[in-house]
Structure 1
Amino acid sequence: MNITGNPEVFHTCYFTLTTTMSIRKKRKTATSSASNEPVSAPGRSQPAKSKGSRRLRGKLSALLELPLDILLEIFGFLLPLDLLHLSRLNKDFRKVLMSKLSIGAWQAARQNLPNFPGPFRGMSEPAWVNLAFIAECHFCTRTVRNPDMYLMTRVCPPCASERLIRTRVLEAKLLLAHVSARDVTGLIPAHCTSYRSGDHTGPKQWDWWSLHSDYDAICAKLLSFETSEERSKFITNQKALVSEDLKHSRICEIWNTQRASERYREIHQGKKDRRQAIYNKLKELGYEEDLKGIRPCFDPLAEHPQVKKNVPLTERGWAKIRDELVTWAEDRRASRLAWEHQTLVNSRKPIVLSVFRQYKNDRAHYPVTTFFPSVADFSRFLPITEVLNLPSDVEVNEDSFATVISQIPELCRIWRGQIKRKLIKLLLEPDPERSRDETIHQLQLACNVVICSHCSEFPDTARRRRGQSANQTFSVMPLFYPQMLSHRCMRASDHTVFKSIKDGTGRLKYPEWHIRAPWSMEYIAENDKLRSIVQCIVKMANLDPATTTVAEMDADESLFACLLCEKQQLTESKSQMFILYRWRELARHIFQSHFYATVKFTRHVHKFDSGELPANYQNVGPVGPIMFQCVHCHDLPSESADNYNGPEEITKHMNDLHPEVTTPKLNKDFYVPLGEPSEAHKGRIVVMELSNDTSEELRVTYKCALETCLQSCQSQFGWETDPDPDIHFDELNEDDLLDEDFDDDS
């Protein structure tokens, strides 16, 4: 029990009482043993009596033998909660403490708690202590942390749905015609808070709540009056009493809030003291350097089960948890050393970047015919990591990589071969008799299409079939070989994956939340529906899907019109405008816009061969710009993971970041990424069907629009309307991408 007030008086009384009890017990034991001691046989020794427990059972049983005034004086030094626990110890204590004679002891105990208010009107001292300190529901045995001082009860959520009722419900169900609803609701305690009505699992409702028992009692009281004068007088007095109870409830609520805050601070300080004591113990064992990196806002040791207890640390307690915490400190030391080593490696990576960029600028040629690793992959090559992992006392500069430069071509070739075999394993069926040339040819087939799962979003099938997908985003990113090699999702990753490593060489301009990452196939996924669509398109072009490559389909000049899409009616004309697709864009369009009509979509697609465009079709302008990348931003923080769409974006990039380049040139200042279609700017062509009654003025208008669009492209880059296919067609150099003798795991 916690003793406050004047503990010396209590200890004096307690010592006198226990001493008297011990003397009485000794006298009684001695007398009893003298009269009842049996006579032992001669020559036979008595067995030694076992030493009894030092603790005397029932030591406080004689406490009730004290005079009542002394007993109540002793009780006055206890805390209210101690008195309540003592009253529940046995029937004798309960009989004393629950009598009206003990009211002084309860009041004295209440004075031992600073600022502890008195009980509510009509509430006894024990009931008030039970409400204030015992965290139990007053209607069941569930735990309830906070009392409702306005309703003067503790109620759990299940009981709240049965015992409480909203005020507006009370007003609706009022049956007393001669008493207003406002009068009845003002005669009982109410609290504006959130409880759950009905099923206690439902949402909380913010409203005025009252106890159902209070409502029933006040209604019965109002019905008991025979005259209206008595009833009116009672209502006036009851309102005054409820107003006084409300004032006292606010005082009690403030005290309870302060008590909870003090208890929280006490627990927090206890945990803080224990944590600091453990820190000091670990520092004495030599882990001071490992604990320096712990920040106040993020303290992993504070969440350790043995640390976050609200128990003072003693030598005995430390001996029990010492081994466990030393193990944690060793892990912390290993993490610190790994962090310091990674920081050292990252500080040397800019040197690696400088060496690698110089090699790429010397060896790279445009248009690109191969693909290089990024600095994230290059830094993982074994000869590079050996230099990066040199001890901190060894100076690392560009001369440290002098012996590695000659190995870079072979390292890149091995890296490409490893990636190539991963793609072969994903896209092709295993065939040991297949030759190298056959393997490369099958990899380049147009039907070996995959999708980027990171860039693609698929609809909910059920919602789309019900026609409820208007607000859903549905897109797909098809990837053909070798386009998948240079796709940005294969070389970039969310920065949260590497948030613990600060590497300046991995930064990207866009997207801001992405960084460079080693080449990965994480987002490459096969899709049988998209593959079947491409196979049908290849057949519509009168080619064999089993042998037709991506380059052969790009060289085919067939255009496709989707008859499933509605044509756009031109204003003040009978003409209609729609889109002609190249084969790549048609596959993407059918997959995205006609997902559930892909089985028979060939019936609704019209193909135009080269030169077969009817005379009544007039080209208005190209749709779908060429994708570009900047030569000057390779592996730098200014590089964008996404390609620049069309002449406008790449020109703006050059003007903003490379103003020294006054006239940007293709394949010198910017280039078409590896695997992009040879005529990406003609991926989709918007055409207009001109009816016979179309005026000559309308024809001239759209012809001028076409010429303006084409002249814009020529003025920006100086190329012809139909550029040389050799500039954009990348015949991928496969010699350094396949090494059958190289082990994938090396």
Structure 2
Amino acid sequence: MSPTSNTSELDPDASIPLTSQKTQETIQETPSTQVSNTETNSEADTGSQRLKITASNGLTALKKLVVTEPKKKRVKRDKSFGQGSNEVSGSSVKPIKRTGSHGKLAMLPSLPLDILFEIFGHLSPADILHLSRTTKSFRRVLLNKSAISVWKAAFGNLQEDEAPTPCPEELSLPVWANLLFSPHCHSCSASNIRSIEWTLRMRLCGKCTKAQSIPQKKFKKEVKLDIILLRCLPFQRRVKDGKTNTYCLKSHKEAFIKELDNLVGDRNKFIADRTSEMKARAEHAEVCEAWSDRLAEERESALEDIRDERRYFITERLYELGYAPELKFLDDVHFTKRDLVAPLDYDLEMLTDLEEVRVAKPITERIWNGRVKDKVVDFMEIVKYFREINDRKLLMQRRREEVAKAWPVWLAGQAQRYPPGYFLPTVRDIAEHPILKAQIEKDGEAALSQPDILGVLDTMHDAIEAWRKEKSALLSSLVPEGSRADLIGDLNPAENLEWMERAMAVFNCNKRLEEYPAGPSIVYNPDKPHEEYLTYRQGQPARSYGEPTCMWFPTYLHHPSSRLAYPDWWEARYHVNEFFKVEGMPIEGIEGAPGNEKLRRAKWNCDQLVFDEKASGLVKRILEACGMPVTATVKELDAADPRLVCLKCTHGKKCDGERRVSVLTWRKAVKHALKSHWGSNTSRFERISDSDAQKARELEAAEYRTRHGGDPPKVGDAKTPHLRCLLCRDGRHEPMKPLSFIEMRFHFVRHHRASLKELDDPQPGSLLTTTEVWDKPPTQPILIQMVPKKGRPTTKQ
């Protein structure tokens, strides 16, 4: 026999091989251990026995071995000895090393059942359920039929709303408690399964549901067995992501079919009983679902209250730490969208999204100072960084707004120097000019006052002239070489802007809206021949709709595609640059066109302008027919107001006072040749006599009276739109179309109340309104036909 230590311990989880005398372990006396004869004999007797452990006597054998284990003498420790030395009868021994110890309640199952049941009767069903899963002894005791009183007492301890209904008759109390209080999958034992399939009376995870269920749609109503199964099987309805799915379990189907096949009695009665049973189960499931939903709502409400208290606590601490501006900034970023100059919501998460804030746990000062404060403060420092950037941009934005407000005021005071239609920078160009940009971006938090801005603008006359010459050179680069000799000649576009006023300077808008970003386009509306509208038709240039959009001076300089643009997406979302907003723009409402509130003033550009070489050539031939030089301006040609005949339509035959032909204005003649003759180089025109031209004007007025029942609009009539406001030129409230006198009064009441008296009784030298229209071509008369005679050129070429 091999020697062993002075103590022996029994592992309750290990098997005890006691099949032969040779395999027994004995305790051999050693020099350092004194064992009495009684203990030795006891061990010898134990070793000589043959024990057979079975399921029925395992606990008894364990108790016997524990009781017969030799008692250890109590050792008195001497402080003078080193650690690990004990004094027993004046000798030193080594300390006993324990590999394990029994719990204090390890002998609890050995108590009498009546005492155990009395103790367990004060617990809840969930406690008893958990207790039954601790050891096999508790499981045998608590899941025995004799413990039914314990379960009943436990369920009797529940409050009114802690269980949906009493336990169904077909379920035992332990099974009912397991269904109510054990959040695990009944198939794979997955944890944290909150939803209960009340009709199936079990909990299933998503994976097991998918693997073990059969959708209701798989059962066909024309198959007799499926009809029976639909009536006799429990079907669970689940709503997920807005979709309803009804299913049963494969095991229920197989068990029912097997039971139906082995049925001996009345089949119809069996099916009827099962149908009524399923109906009762469905009604019971509805009650349980209502209880479960109410319980979930109460739980969520309680958790939300805890979250609210936690958020309020953290917010109060942040206010105390001086983060009030950052909290307001976060509110603006995620909710109000006010006072924002940049789209920062993609860089900042919400305060409530932080793990330290959104967790549903109560918070105290100790928790706040321990681990929450540092993380939340770090986040607020990041918010502070972005807030300071935004505040700086917001300050510059407000300064630009003051510049935008001062610019129309300055222009109104400079009306003599810069008359209506004068080619000037836009308000966006002025706000971003280096001179004013330096004032806008200067350090400090002081706002710009209007007198200061007006003083700076008074020093910018040379800068404005330099800007005009720069844009003139840029615009002249669009003129092809074949037309430069006639249009520009020896002029230097960078020094002389007279070439832009010539009638041969014809431009078109070749705007395509899919080329974002860019401005809108103006097209001719055949239903309203006296007006042109903004269009939002996509995919084709504007001139493909109706008449060509030929533009002469000064219309092409003030065309919307040169001065207006769609806002950036963040400007539209955050309502930034509202002072550059355009109001009163007539827009053709087709195919869901966006409203005019989505247009902003832009820096002047000629990106969408193209020189119309064909139209320029037609104007040259019209000037030849009128006996005017190629350098004639638009103003001179409008003053002559000739009436022309297209010789291509008459097949080259000239006016002889016998042939009836269409009489055109010079602008209509250009558009007619472009539309009807594709701008052919062979198009020629003939000017009719002055007397016939006067007669043509009278016929045009008569035709207007015939069609519209009144005289043509005249400048000066109270209801005729012919006035433009000079106090808000290039400002936010500038009317984008001519106004009548009545409309102008309403405009002054709304935006210039102080100047209303001057409008009624204008003072000498005051310039409030003008009849000049610089951004739209003159209204063209209605086309008429007559028998004209050939006229003579007014001047020699």
Q: TM-score range, shorter-chain basis?
A: 0.5 to 0.7
- SS where residue 197 of structure 2 aligns? coil
| Count of equivalent residues | 569
Tell me the equivalent position of 2:195. 146
Quote the offset at 1:270 in angstroms: 1.7
Matched, 1:67 2:111: yes
- SS where residue 232 of structure 2 aligns? coil
Cα distance change on mapping 1:445 and 1:142 into 2, 3 Å: farther
Tell me the equivalent position of 1:322. 373
Cα distance change on mapping 1:171 and 1:502 into 2, 3 Å: closer
Inter-partner Cα distance in structure 2 for 1:65 and 1:445 = 106
The answer (yes or no) to whether the contact 2:565–2:601 under 8 Å persists in 1 is yes
Tell me the equivalent position of 1:186. 231
Aligned partner letter, 2:106 = A
- SS where residue 368 of structure 1 aligns? coil
Inter-partner Cα distance in structure 2 for 1:421 and 1:85 = 90
Aligned pairs for 1:493-508 (under 5 A) are 493=567, 497=571, 505-506=579-580, 508=582
Matched, 1:409 2:499: no
Can you list the C-alpha shifts for 1:94-129, whole angstroms capped at 9, x where unaligned? 555544445444444444464313444533445444
2:733 to 630, 638, 644: 638
Matched, 1:363 2:414: yes
Tell me the equivalent position of 2:50. none
Cα distance change on mapping 1:450 and 1:208 into 2, 3 Å: closer
Inter-partner Cα distance in structure 1 for 2:668 and 2:258 = 84
Aligned partner letter, 1:245 = R
Quote the offset at 1:260 in angstroms: 0.7
Greater shift in the superposed pair: 419-428 or 64-73: 419-428
Tell me the equivalent position of 2:360. 310
Aligned partner letter, 2:747 = L
For structure 1, list consecutive stretches of 5 or more residues without a partner in the other structure. 1-23, 196-202, 429-434, 458-471, 562-579, 591-600, 688-701, 705-746
Quote the offset at 1:293 in angstroms: 7.5
Quote the offset at 1:269 in angstroms: 1.6
Cα distance change on mapping 1:525 and 1:213 into 2, 3 Å: farther
Cα distance change on mapping 1:124 and 1:541 into 2, 3 Å: farther
The answer (yes or no) to whether the contact 2:427–2:731 under 8 Å persists in 1 is no
Aligned partner letter, 1:311 = K
Inter-partner Cα distance in structure 2 for 1:612 and 1:29 = 139
Cα distance change on mapping 1:541 and 1:396 into 2, 3 Å: closer
Aligned partner letter, 2:374 = D
Tell me the equivalent position of 1:372. 425
The answer (yes or no) to whether the contact 1:537–1:583 under 8 Å persists in 2 is yes
Matched, 1:519 2:603: yes
The answer (yes or no) to whether the contact 1:187–1:238 under 8 Å persists in 2 is yes
Quote the offset at 1:210 in angstroms: 3.9
Tell me the equivalent position of 2:162. 115
Aligned pairs for 1:126-525 (under 5 A) are 126-133=174-181, 138=186, 141=190, 145-155=194-204, 163-165=212-214, 167=216, 169-172=218-221, 174-176=223-225, 181=227, 184-191=229-236, 194=239, 206=244, 209-226=247-264, 230-287=266-323, 291=327, 298=335, 300-314=350-364, 315-330=366-381, 332=383, 352=403, 355-364=406-415, 365-374=418-427, 378=431, 383=436, 386=439, 398-401=450-453, 403-410=455-462, 412=464, 437=493, 451-452=512-513, 453=515, 474-476=539-541, 483=557, 486-487=560-561, 490=564, 493=567, 497=571, 505-506=579-580, 508-509=582-583, 511=595, 513-514=597-598, 516=600, 519=603
Cα distance change on mapping 1:497 and 1:93 into 2, 3 Å: farther
The answer (yes or no) to whether the contact 1:377–1:517 under 8 Å persists in 2 is no
Can you list the C-alpha shifts for 1:341-393, whole angstroms capped at 9, x where unaligned? 8888888877655542221123354552313332795388655774898978x
Quote the offset at 1:252 in angstroms: 1.1
Inter-partner Cα distance in structure 2 for 1:270 and 1:417 = 69
Quote the offset at 1:281 in angstroms: 2.7
Quote the offset at 1:271 in angstroms: 1.5
- SS where residue 567 of structure 2 aligns? strand
- SS where residue 307 of structure 1 aligns? helix
Can you list the C-alpha shifts for 1:442-467, whole angstroms capped at 9, x where unaligned? 9x99699564535689xxxxxxxxxx
Structure number with greater Rg is 2
Inter-partner Cα distance in structure 1 for 2:141 and 2:673 = 93
Aligned partner letter, 1:657 = H
Quote the offset at 1:483 in angstroms: 4.9
Can you list the C-alpha shifts for 1:300-349, whole angstroms capped at 9, x where unaligned? 43233321122333425533332332234445556667777888888887
Quote the offset at 1:63 in angstroms: 5.6
2:747 to 654, 657, 668: 657
For structure 2, list consecutive stretches of 5 or more residues without a partner in the other structure. 1-65, 77-82, 336-348, 481-490, 522-536, 544-548, 585-594, 622-629, 639-643, 649-666, 689-698, 708-712, 714-720, 750-755, 762-766, 787-797
Inter-partner Cα distance in structure 2 for 1:408 and 1:321 = 57
Inter-partner Cα distance in structure 2 for 1:303 and 1:492 = 34
Percent sequence identity over aligned pairs? 18
Cα distance change on mapping 1:112 and 1:498 into 2, 3 Å: same
Tell me the equivalent position of 1:593. none
Q: Which has the higher contact order (CA 8 A, sep 6+)?
A: 1
The answer (yes or no) to whether the contact 2:509–2:561 under 8 Å persists in 1 is no
The answer (yes or no) to whether the contact 1:632–1:669 under 8 Å persists in 2 is no
Inter-partner Cα distance in structure 1 for 2:431 and 2:646 = 42
Aligned partner letter, 1:634 = R
Can you list the C-alpha shifts for 1:594-619, whole angstroms capped at 9, x where unaligned? xxxxxxx989x998554599xxxx99
Aligned partner letter, 2:431 = F
Cα distance change on mapping 1:224 and 1:445 into 2, 3 Å: same
- SS where residue 413 of structure 2 aligns? helix
Inter-partner Cα distance in structure 1 for 2:259 and 2:673 = 83
- SS where residue 224 of structure 2 aligns? coil
Q: TM-score, normalised by structure 2?
A: 0.52
Inter-partner Cα distance in structure 2 for 1:485 and 1:362 = 24
Cα distance change on mapping 1:226 and 1:293 into 2, 3 Å: same
Cα distance change on mapping 1:295 and 1:80 into 2, 3 Å: farther
Cα distance change on mapping 1:638 and 1:386 into 2, 3 Å: closer
The answer (yes or no) to whether the contact 2:519–2:560 under 8 Å persists in 1 is no
Quote the offset at 1:131 in angstroms: 3.8
Cα distance change on mapping 1:403 and 1:637 into 2, 3 Å: closer
The answer (yes or no) to whether the contact 1:629–1:672 under 8 Å persists in 2 is yes
Q: TM-score, normalised by structure 1?
A: 0.55
Cα distance change on mapping 1:610 and 1:168 into 2, 3 Å: same
Cα distance change on mapping 1:343 and 1:187 into 2, 3 Å: same
Inter-partner Cα distance in structure 2 for 1:261 and 1:244 = 26
The answer (yes or no) to whether the contact 2:566–2:598 under 8 Å persists in 1 is yes
